[in-house]
A and B are shown apart, each in its own frame.
Chain A
Amino acid sequence: MVNIIVCIKQVFDPEAPASAYKIDAEAKRVILKGIPPVLSPFDENALEAALRIKDAHDSKVTVLSVGRNLSKAVLMKSLAVGADELLLLEDGAFEEMDSYATAFTLASAIGKLGGYDLILTGREAADTNAGTVGSGIAEILGIPSITIVRKVELDDGKVIAERVVSDGYEVIETPLPSLITVSNELGELRYATVKELVASRNKPIMTWNAQELGVEPPQVRQARLLSLFIPQKENRCEIVGGETAEEMGANLALKLRAAQIL
């Protein structure tokens, strides 16, 4: 049986309209009225990758999430679509951790769970877009990792992954256990029917706090939030002149070159 762990971050719905966002600059907090937490989209892709493996091989999929104020109702979606169990790392100490602390905490939990073959994460979280936690976990655990993957297959104790690059993809093979960060090209997470949602309520959910996990997240922050603001976007429109179409085209090209776009 293949033991798969999928790390999923709970984020505020990144598709919420811009006008619903407000910033409390003083408290350095985003205020989101009536915006739900969701599974971070790339993490959903990672879960889909796990489920596809499960479709083909006898596997157990454990979903792992760390944070404070985690919503069971939201994370239970992972159980409804086919994950086997959910482990929540929940503690006041897990609030607003930076990438390093997050990777450290997740890696500790994975180490404690033990017996894993494959760890899947999204390529980056939808709120910070930092994209470092996955590789960080691999580093801490001392296992190989492949990032930004669009296809994962298992073959006889090896994993074969297609890694997205700007002009195509690379095929990479590593032995298990290893870690893979998944990109959206892999495909959307499958839907859960209401029946599956209801059934998921009987699947196991474990919760560990810092004490149960047995580690405190590192006290020294590797990253600090200095300020938080909504960037002011300015749109300027300039009409490029010229007598003829050719001339206009040439002028436009010159402008673009001046702006270092061409």
Chain B
Amino acid sequence: MSDGIKLDTRLYNFTTRCVRCAECTFGYKDAEFELFCPIYKKFNFFTYSLGGMAQLARALHEGRIDLTESVSEILYKCTSCGACAEVCAEVDFRDMMELQHELRARCVEAGQVPFTHMAVIESLKKDDNVMQKPKAERGKWAEGLGVKDITKEKAEVYYHAGCKYCFDEELWPAARSAVNLLRRAGIDLGIAGKDETCCGGHAFELGYQGEFIKYAENNMEMLKTAGIKTLVTSCADGYYAFKVLYDMLGKKGDLEVLHITEYLARLIKEGRLKPTKSVAMTATYHDPCHLGRKVEPWIRQEGKLKAGEIYQPPRDLLNSIPGLKFIEMRRIKENAWCCGAGGGVIDAYSDFALWTAGERIEEAKSIGAEAIVTACPWCKRNLNDAVKESNGGLKIYDIVELVEQAL
């Protein structure tokens, strides 16, 4: 049993201003109005769209429905990719994200969350990671790299690997490549090894805002103690957390947050890294939501948060690799089709996550790509699993690996 939900006036207004225009299920004209909301494309009922969820939220506020298990399931099946809010004329992106954050936080408070998420959070609390792996194994990915440990030595730039890279052994090479490349360019780099902790972003997106605050406070404390001014990460979720969520919380201060693609593109432009070797393939690029939509709109809010989307740097990187033919899919940048892993869907509804990735793979195949390159460990993991499921035919790369190959 659970009570309804009272929203604040601003969010309630948003729910009543939905005109049911259904734009939230389409991409723009540039993407030929292809459907671009995964949950809607998969489950089809109006309910599974921003408009439908707005009506649902409205009903929760007006006390016409309780926060039942079915309601929670609908809310948690959303990959939280933000595509809908990009096109909605009635609501600002921030309001839509805030509504989602709010509803999920309420689900958490009511204990109305997928049990798989509870398991993720329980292990996060115990082991400081969202991969349900023992804390002690966190530093393993960097063994033998001989990179500085910022908890012991001073370094100028901190590399945050993130839970996914730390505990998913198949993804280690990309994190190791990142460290190698930055050091090769002469960057004074440090990591936190086994003392690194989760950024908390995943907890936030699952609605566990309290848990998130804990990690934000811990991380900023650690960075402050180590005197770090610049943070670079290969993890798209981490980038979003440090850059947007920490700022929303008022904790980011003047920490410079960079995604590895931004940093590498900058280093190549400055001539500090020179890709010369040919990497022959026809590849397309998949925009992670956490490097695009989910950070992009904040920049519009004058005087407010300034984030900024990362659309161009990865494309610049791909174009700088000799021999690589870079081609675009139809649904790109703010129109991108989500990989399916986001918003905790990969934990709770893995079949749906794979289906969504499968759709992306089909799109890549349809334009003749041999590989999908991405810049987010969650996207890579999910796309890779979907490729395996469909018996291959296409390769999935982390962009950093390709840059290293080209050097």
- Beyond A34-B109, A69-B110, whether A13 also contacts B210 by CB under 8 A is yes
Q: Mark B101-116, 1 if CB is under 8 A from A, else 0.
A: 0001100111111111
Task: Give the chain A neighbours of B115 by CB distance below 8 A.
Answer: 73, 76, 80, 197-198
Distance between Cα atoms of A77 and B209 in the complex (Å) = 21
B217 touches A17 (CB 8 A): yes
Distance between Cα atoms of A162 and B159 in the complex (Å) = 50
Q: In whole Å, how far is B11's beta carbon from the nearest beta carbon of chain A?
A: 13
Q: Mark A85-104, 1 if CB is under 8 A from B, else 0.
A: 00000100000000000000
Q: Mark A40-68, 1 if CB is under 8 A from B, else 0.
A: 00000000000000000000000000001
Task: Give the chain A neighbours of B111 by CB distance below 8 A.
Answer: 10, 36-37, 70-75
Which chain B residues in 180-232 approach chain A with CB under 8 Å? 204, 207-214, 217
Distance between Cα atoms of A191 and B134 in the complex (Å) = 13
- Beyond A13-B210, A20-B209, A73-B111, whether A36 also contacts B121 by CB under 8 A is yes
Distance between Cα atoms of A20 and B200 in the complex (Å) = 14
Task: Give the chain A neighbours of B1 by CB distance below 8 A.
Answer: 68-70, 90
- Beyond A15-B125, A71-B112, A194-B116, whether A20 also contacts B2 by CB under 8 A is no
- Which residue of chain A is the closest to B2 with respect to CB atoms? A69
Task: Give the chain A neighbours of B213 by CB distance below 8 A.
Answer: 16-17, 19-20
Task: Give the chain A neighbours of B110 by CB distance below 8 A.
Answer: 37, 69, 71
Q: Does B256 contact A (CB under 8 A)?
A: no
A34 touches B2 (CB 8 A): no
Q: What is the interface of chain B mostly: helix, strand, loop, or mixed?
A: helix
Q: What is the interface of chain A mostly: helix, strand, loop, or mixed?
A: mixed
Q: Does B3 contact A (CB under 8 A)?
A: yes
Q: Given A34, A37, A76, which contacts B212 in the complex, CB threshold below 8 Å?
A: A34
Task: Give the chain A neighbours of B121 by CB distance below 8 A.
Answer: 36
Task: Give the chain B neighbours of A35 by CB distance below 8 A.
Answer: 108-109, 208-210
Task: Give the chain B neighbours of A77 by CB distance below 8 A.
Answer: 118
Q: Does A112 contact B (CB under 8 A)?
A: no
B119 touches A19 (CB 8 A): no
Task: Give the chain B neighbours of A33 by CB distance below 8 A.
Answer: 105, 109, 209-210
Scoring B3, B111, B207, B217 by chain A CB atoms within 10 A of each residue's CB, the highest score goes to B111
Which chain B residues in 92-146 approach chain A with CB under 8 Å? 104-105, 108-116, 118-119, 121-122, 125
Q: In whole Å, how far is B294's beta carbon from the nearest beta carbon of chain A?
A: 18
- In the complex, how many residues of chain B place their beta carbon closer than 8 angstroms to a beta carbon of chain A? 30
A17 touches B210 (CB 8 A): yes
Q: In whole Å, how far is A11's beta carbon from the nearest beta carbon of chain B?
A: 11
Distance between Cα atoms of A14 and B370 in the complex (Å) = 51
Q: Does A253 contact B (CB under 8 A)?
A: no
A20 touches B210 (CB 8 A): yes
Task: Give the chain A neighbours of B122 by CB distance below 8 A.
Answer: 191
A34 touches B118 (CB 8 A): no
Q: Does A32 contact B (CB under 8 A)?
A: yes
A34 touches B119 (CB 8 A): no
Distance between Cα atoms of A75 and B118 in the complex (Å) = 11
B109 touches A37 (CB 8 A): yes
Distance between Cα atoms of A120 and B251 in the complex (Å) = 43
Distance between Cα atoms of A16 and B122 in the complex (Å) = 12
B119 touches A36 (CB 8 A): no
Task: Give the chain B neighbours of A69 by CB distance below 8 A.
Answer: 1-3, 110
Distance between Cα atoms of A69 and B5 in the complex (Å) = 13
Distance between Cα atoms of A33 and B207 in the complex (Å) = 9
- Which residue of chain B is the closest to A19 with respect to CB atoms? B213
Task: Give the chain A neighbours of B113 by CB distance below 8 A.
Answer: 36, 73
B112 touches A16 (CB 8 A): no
Task: Give the chain B neighbours of A17 by CB distance below 8 A.
Answer: 210, 213-214, 217
Q: Given A10, A34, A70, which contacts B208 in the complex, CB threshold below 8 Å?
A: A34
Task: Give the chain A neighbours of B3 by CB distance below 8 A.
Answer: 69
A32 touches B112 (CB 8 A): no
Known: A16-B211, A34-B207, A73-B114. 15 other contacts (CB 8 A): A10-B111, A16-B213, A17-B213, A19-B213, A34-B104, A34-B108, A35-B208, A36-B113, A37-B109, A37-B111, A68-B1, A69-B2, A69-B110, A76-B115, A90-B1
23 contacts between A and B (CB under 8 A): A15-B125, A16-B210, A17-B210, A17-B214, A17-B217, A20-B209, A32-B210, A33-B105, A33-B109, A34-B108, A35-B209, A36-B109, A36-B111, A36-B113, A69-B110, A70-B1, A71-B111, A71-B112, A74-B111, A76-B115, A80-B115, A197-B115, A197-B119
